[in-house]
Amino acid sequence: MEETARKYELRDLDRIFNASSVAIVGASTNPEKLGYEILNNLINMGYEGPIYPINPKADEVLGLKAYPSLSDVGKPIDVIAVIVPGKFAPGVIEEAGRLGVKGAVVISGGFREIGNDDLEAAMVSAARAGGVGIIGPNCQGINYPANKLCISWPLIKCQGGLALISQSGTIAAALGDRAEKEDIGISGLVALGNRCDIDESDLINFFGADPSTEVIAVYIEGVKDGDKFMDVGRRVAKDKPVLVLKGGRTERGRQAAESHTKSIAGRGEIFDAALRKIGFEKVESIDELYDCSKVLAVEKKRPGRRVQVITSSGGSGIVAVDVLEELGLDVAPLSDSGRARLKEVLPSHCVVGNPLDLTGDTPAERYTEAVLALAEEEPGIDLYLLIFGDPIPRAMENCLEMKEAVDKPIIACYIGGGEVEEVEFKKMNGARIPTFPTPERVARAARSVLTG
């Protein structure tokens, strides 16, 4: 654990994420510079408040009037992005404090991560004196679609229920980009960087209360304040799932984490015990962090262990069953009445069981017929795992029909479907049917929603 951190109240962070005006300190006219890209993303996000580019050498940046300094704006500024060489950051924060700025997203590097502890301390001191909350430094910024506020990259516009908090900007961006491309969307994204001020506990607390957030995904290398983390965690975990991937579990990994953002990574087994105590869920990979969060963004956790696999690909169904069994889920055989009912509604060449193999000639409608029949005869099924293993059009429409008729989670894998798969994959995720590219990933994601 690191030094005791200041505790931010929800209203403090609300003033940042719901900022009414933004200044970009270091806005650039050069498309190859971050000061250009971040300003461009904020504009293209559709941010509705005034935007003030700060550049002493330009009259205009991206069609907006530019100002030599924050003081020259002459109007209230809620949040600033700082994209200037690190040595200038303390002065910028001091000026911001005098002007009543509430928050600063410090993209700039060159602080504690390279040994410049005194420079970072001077910036924090200026922030404390002026009442400015800092996210960063050495970070990839923030994105909050509810306020159309993107002070980051890449540009992610699709709004959903997944909040991403990460010490690694690249991991945050990669997961956000996946959510954008799959039409899952995000409720927020924050790259923590050095966490000189606002930390992971503050943000978990904020997104725990955020009405647009359904699940919180966290990548972390070390906790800044253990007591604060435990206190926030206990409260948030009662209402929302929080999934955590910890970097630095091994000795070499801990050494790498401590040199990344100067985190104190801590022993993995102690951290794991803390997660269990407060009710957070530990995951083992970036894919698992995303996949489980993706399901929990659209499905509530529920008691149960029994999964019914329905597939057009016998091999993919077998792989899914293997993973489900290894995870301790119940891939139970069907009852005699369930088997009989399926044989009434399905062609004779379908292989009736669990997995239920509809075979490669199946249309999407056959999945619906199977699920509706099973819902009548097998009320003990807790989750339906569907594998579309061929080019099967209308998968999304039929999954929606199933969801309307059956009050059980329905998640899917789409594999081997070529161009049809590409279309259906995005449509299904956009329709809140969590869909995955392999049977292993969909099976692991199934475990996240069942608590039995």
> Is 145 within the bounds of a domain?
yes
Residue 236: give its domain's CATH number. 3.40.50.261
> Is 249 within the bounds of a domain?
yes
Shared domain for 220 and 105, answered yes or no, is yes
Shared domain for 181 and 236, answered yes or no, is yes
Confidence of residue 247 (pLDDT cuts 50, 70, 90): confident
Confidence of residue 249 (pLDDT cuts 50, 70, 90): low
Q: pLDDT tens for residues 66-120?
A: 999 999 999 999 999 999 999 999 999 999 999 999 999 999 999 999 999 999 9
Query: Of 264, 296, 328, which closes a domain?
Result: 296
Shared domain for 206 and 351, answered yes or no, is no
> Is 302 within the bounds of a domain?
no
Query: Of 253, 274, 296, which closes a domain?
Result: 296
Question: What residue numbers bound the domain in which 131 lies?
Answer: 10-296
Q: pLDDT tens for residues 185-209?
A: 999 999 999 999 999 999 999 999 9
pLDDT at 279: 95
pLDDT at 55: 98
> Is 3 within the bounds of a domain?
no
Encode 334-349: b = buried (16+ Cβ within 10 Å), e = exposed: beeebbebbeeebeee
What is the number of structural domains in the chain? 2
Nearest residue to 358 (alpha-carbon basis) of 317, 305, 329: 317
Q: Are strands 141-144 and 186-191 parallel, antiparallel or unpaired?
A: antiparallel
> Is 96 within the bounds of a domain?
yes
> Is 5 within the bounds of a domain?
no
Quick one: average pLDDT of 330-344? Answer: 97
For 15-154, strand residue ranges (E) read: 22-25, 51-54, 60-61, 64-65, 79-82, 103-106, 133-135, 141-144, 149-152
Shared domain for 282 and 328, answered yes or no, is no
Q: Using CA atoms, how far apart are residues 445 and 449, in angstroms rounded to an integer?
A: 7
Shared domain for 426 and 284, answered yes or no, is no
pLDDT at 70: 98
Can you tell me which residue has the tokens 């929606």? 400
Shared domain for 227 and 359, answered yes or no, is no
Shared domain for 391 and 316, answered yes or no, is yes
> Is 67 within the bounds of a domain?
yes
pLDDT at 250: 57
Quick one: average pLDDT of 254-273? Answer: 61
Give burial (CB, 10 Å; 0-12/13-18/19+) of 235. middle
Shared domain for 267 and 343, answered yes or no, is no
pLDDT at 258: 54
Check residues 248 and 229 and name the one with the higher pLDDT: 229
pTM value is 0.92
Mean pLDDT over the full length of the chain: 94
Shared domain for 109 and 18, answered yes or no, is yes
> Is 281 within the bounds of a domain?
yes
Q: pLDDT tens for residues 274-289?
A: 999 999 999 999 999 9
Quick one: average pLDDT of 328-348? Answer: 97
Query: Of 268, 296, 324, which closes a domain?
Result: 296
Whether the per-residue pLDDT at 257 is higher than 60: the answer is: no
Q: pLDDT tens for residues 21-36?
A: 999 999 999 999 999 9
Whether the per-residue pLDDT at 221 is higher than 80: the answer is: yes
Shared domain for 249 and 368, answered yes or no, is no
Confidence of residue 251 (pLDDT cuts 50, 70, 90): low
82: tokens are 């700082």
Whether the per-residue pLDDT at 7 is higher than 80: the answer is: no
pLDDT at 9: 86
Whether the per-residue pLDDT at 394 is higher than 80: the answer is: yes
pLDDT at 261: 47
Calculate what percentage of the chain has a pLDDT beyond 90: 91
Shared domain for 259 and 181, answered yes or no, is yes
Shared domain for 41 and 143, answered yes or no, is yes
Whether the per-residue pLDDT at 263 is higher than 70: the answer is: no
Q: How far apart are the first and last CA of the chain?
A: 33
